[in-house]
Amino acid sequence: MKKLTLSLLVLLSANSFAQDINTQALKACSMIENDFKRLVCYDQIIAGKSIDISTAKTPVMVEQSKAINKEEKFGLEHKNISANSDSEQIALVKKVKKAPHGELVITLANGQVWRQIGTDNFRVKADNEVTIMRGALNSFLLKKMGSNKTIRVKRVK
């Protein structure tokens, strides 16, 4: 009986130690559009501090030492967080070679190197014009001009 009353007493006293959360301040934080500032606002409310969003610092992104234009960034979004590029690119094929497992490795005139994912049959040779476009789930498709067939590719460099 003593254990039951003791545990009941502990459960009832836990509410007395809890702080009251300002629901109006929480609603004010939910109106903030910037994710980082909204999180800082919530943290300040939980810590019992006053809300001051203007002093919140945004995280510093690592800057690239060299400025890269859109053509150089295309297909490298997974390697560079701040890259935003167009949905397709047209280029001229400079060189085509086969990888050990039969995939094509295509070098474009602009210096980009793309590797075929899979071993589907696809005919492309030097001086062909190709279009590289975005596919589903951050993938890329390569299509030869004048053809409807596409292959899935990834950028090597």
Residues 55 and 96 in one domain: no
Alpha carbon distance 136, 93 (integer Å): 24
87, 134 Cβ separation under 8 angstroms: yes
Kindly state the tokens that stand for 85.
């590029």
pTM: 0.47
Do 99 and 44 share a structural domain?
no
Residue 53 structural domain: 19-59
Tally of domains in the chain: 2
pLDDT by position in tens, the chain (length 157)? 777 777 776 666 655 555 667 778 888 888 888 888 888 888 888 877 776 645 444 443 333 434 456 667 777 766 554 444 567 888 999 999 999 888 999 999 999 999 999 888 899 989 899 999 988 888 899 999 988 999 999 999 8
Residue 78's pLDDT is: 61
103/44 same-domain check: no
Q: Can you spell out the DSSP letters for 28-58?
A: HHHT--SHHHHHHHHHHHHHTPPP-GGGPPP
SS3 (DSSP) at 99: coil
Residues 74 and 151 both lie in one domain: yes
Which of 137, 132, 125 shows the shortest CA–CA distance to 151?
132
CATH of the domain at 99: 2.40.50
Domain membership flag for residue 30: yes
- Same domain for 111 and 42? no
Q: Is residue 39 located within the same domain as residue 110? A: no
Contacts of 112 by beta carbon, 8 Å cutoff, 6+ apart: 72, 74, 75, 91, 155, 157
CB-hemisphere CA count at 13 Å for 44? 18
